[in-house]
Chains A and B, each alone.
Chain A
């Protein structure tokens, strides 16, 4: 089983608060990703990183930001949470060699609710 962790698992917070969603992996993967997923819907890539000090915006525009100071850690921050940010946020990492053969391994997700 993949060793990728996300905290918190559930977060209910008021509008305007700053939040940071944590993601850590112990597999030494260079590539890490953040996805946003509404219930029952597909995953949309919002951020990715190919290694330390590398971060890129994904296909879905997001007001969140990310940082990659250490290989194992890829936190996502929302400076001012809004109800439109309510969603599930999934972190993933992949084999250093690229997509094959193992694909991406996912964490359990953080379900965020902004009131």
Chain B
């Protein structure tokens, strides 16, 4: 079946360093991808999205890269801060545009002071 996975369950970085969180997806027909951040005790919060006709999109301190050839998605966080500590999920939506999302397993980002 369809699935979206993340390579590492936990990533530990030093405050001020850049973080890279990876995600592999399996549905080549997916045309829209989203990164969510989930802090403890809260619902997921939208960070950034990207369509399949793009390979890079930048936001404030975050960049999403999409490699459709190898079905890989990554989230880069510049100058990681303690407030970035959370679980990060990638999600994809098939081209059927149902609005349904398929979530990956999540990577816990720990920022060391």
List residues of chain A with CB under 8 Å of any chain B CB.
Answer: 6, 31, 33, 35, 40-45, 48, 50, 58-59, 90, 92, 94, 98-109
Q: Given the interface contacts A99-B32, A99-B93, A107-B43, does A40 sit within 8 Å of B99 by beta carbon?
A: no
**Could you list some 12 contacts between A and B, CB below 8 A?**
A41-B106, A42-B105, A43-B103, A44-B103, A58-B100, A98-B99, A99-B97, A99-B101, A102-B46, A103-B91, A107-B43, A108-B43
Which residues of A lie under 8 Å from residue B42 when comparing CB positions? Answer: 108-109
Using a Cβ–Cβ cut-off of 8 Å, how many residues does chain B contribute to the interface with A? Answer: 26
In angstroms, Cα B39 to Cα A40, docked, is 11
Contact across chains for B89 and A42 when beta carbons are under 8 A apart: yes
Contact across chains for B103 and A42 when beta carbons are under 8 A apart: yes
Which residues of B lie under 8 Å from residue A33 when comparing CB positions? Answer: 99-100
Contact across chains for B49 and A40 when beta carbons are under 8 A apart: no
B60 vs chain A, min Cβ distance (A)? 16
Number of A-B contacts (CB under 8 A): 70
List residues of chain B with CB under 8 Å of any chain A CB.
Answer: 32, 34, 36, 41-46, 49, 51, 87, 89, 91, 93, 97-106, 108
In angstroms, Cα B101 to Cα A50, docked, is 14
In angstroms, Cα B43 to Cα A107, docked, is 6
In angstroms, Cα B32 to Cα A29, docked, is 19
In angstroms, Cα B100 to Cα A9, docked, is 24
Q: Given the interface contacts A99-B93, A101-B49, does A43 sit within 8 Å of B44 by beta carbon?
A: yes
Contact across chains for B106 and A42 when beta carbons are under 8 A apart: yes
Partner of B51, one of A40, A92, A94, A100: A100
Which residues of A lie under 8 Å from residue B106 when comparing CB positions? Answer: 40-42
Which residues of B lie under 8 Å from residue A6 when comparing CB positions? Answer: 43
Which residues of B lie under 8 Å from residue A45 when comparing CB positions? Answer: 100-101
Which residues of B lie under 8 Å from residue A40 when comparing CB positions? Answer: 87, 106, 108
In angstroms, Cα B54 to Cα A86, docked, is 40
Contact across chains for B101 and A103 when beta carbons are under 8 A apart: yes
Which residues of A lie under 8 Å from residue B99 when comparing CB positions? Answer: 31, 33, 48, 50, 94, 98-99, 104
